[in-house]
Structure 1
Amino acid sequence: MVQIKTPEQIAKMREAGLVVAAVHAATREAAVPGATTKDLDDVARKVIAEHGAKSNFLGYGGFPATICTSVNEVVVHGIPDEKTVLKDGDIISIDAGAIIDGWHGDAAYTAFVGTGHAPELIELSRVTEESMWAGLAAMKQGNRLVDISRAIETYIRRQPKPGGGKYGIVEDYGGHGIGTEMHMDPHLLNYVERRRGKGPKLVPGFCLAIEPMVSLGTPRTEVLEDDWTVITTDGTWSSHWEHSVALTEEGPIVLTAPDCGKAKLAEYGVTVAPDPLG
């Protein structure tokens, strides 16, 4: 069952989304050489509290932290700790969420720690982020879920990988519905799998978290002994980008983007709906 939201409920999700955007801004500034991933978690915890929100990660299935901090070959679900110290040249994907009055927001981004990153890492993050926006641009009435998957995969497959070969589109994780829970139906693949069919039609009130995860090598992953941390099986570095989005009668709203996604979606010829918070 796909949970369809009213305009009032979408407005609450926008409130939660703006808290997530504030967490992103604060952690991006704090992700510097010498900082620990626990330092970033402390920053996120403070921002969420200051906004009168709750973390939807802390305690989720026993997860022990406020955000996920996934460094280098860690794809998703990295647990913040005091032992992991960020170094110049690292990349880190930070996944954060917040709850306002029972409604959830969820988004992730990849940051560069320090300077001097290899061009292939800069391109990896760019390709992952842009594939997310291609997926967000497919959030249109009349489309189906598979159209989002196709848009993401098509964008990635068309990008030449520095040094040759192909990018790995992570197979075991994807996007999801979001609303009164962080993870809801439907599951959203970042590639087209024919046997799954076309999926549901996109209608007003449909809300998704769209989140491609891409590696420099394999699409395959494994989970470490902590039962959370997901790494690439070949040790290649990866990038993760995510936004929560709602479809309305007037178009999409990127709930976790400060400008509702207006600037980026304009590049795809998509006009976003007005911000429900004015």
Structure 2
Amino acid sequence: MVKITAAEVNNLRKTTGAGMMDCKKALVEAEGNFEKAIEILRKKGQKVAAKRADRDSSEGAAIAKVDAGNTNGVIISLNCETDFVAKNESFVALANELAELALGYTSKDDFLAASFNGMSVQEKLTEQTGVIGEKIEIGGFSNLSAPFVGSYIHAGNKIATLVGLSANVEGVATVAKDVAMQAAAMNPVALNEAGVDQSVIDKEIEIAKDQLRQEGKPEAMLDNIAKGKLKRFFKDNTLVNQAFIKDSKQSVAQYVKSADANLEITGFERVALG
């Protein structure tokens, strides 16, 4: 039998993230062949992934990254099954590494096919499923481009947001972070009224009419009153119209313009776990 040294086991562990015993078993099975041992561990991951394919992976880490020029940003969530794994330092470190790589991609499929340390991202996820023993996958994937992009990650990596602003002016980084925090905390459905899906609008109007009927309001009055309630819905649920959480006397749009009269929010992205 080929003798396996501790250094070889440690090298395989560093390369794959697998446990020491799993690495030793793989090297023994591969008769000391390093590449074959990696393949053995990958196949183990594939078997575990197949068994856990129908498991819920609602825990994990949502990570936002912005490029050096602050003009492009991305959010990914690296999902797992338990909060215990989600809080593991190596798991969060992997999520950050993958998010850095994701900055170069605009679609989730292209990102999953991208090369990551000698294998594809998808192969890495399968490998880690075998290593950790939980379903590991990319859940959310969103990107944003603008003249200035800012980001925010809520404590615990449960929510991550990106915000795009129309110009890179003085103080824009603070504004972007504040608005990104707003989007994380208040979960707007759209940037403004125009961004709200018509099906959502129709549903809100119907809900308002049903409430008014239960209150005994005349049918002829329902449309006008419902439109008023819809305006309230837009105020509460669209980012630019929401009351700014740091100063409720002004809207988010008014706060942004307090930094520069011509500054506007061009878009936002939000990824949340659970």
Q: By the TM > 0.5 criterion, same fold?
A: no
TM norm structure 2 = 0.22
Of structures 1 and 2, the one scoring higher in RCO (CA 8 A, sep 6+) is 1
Name the larger-Rg structure. 2
TM-score of the pair, normalised by structure 1: 0.22
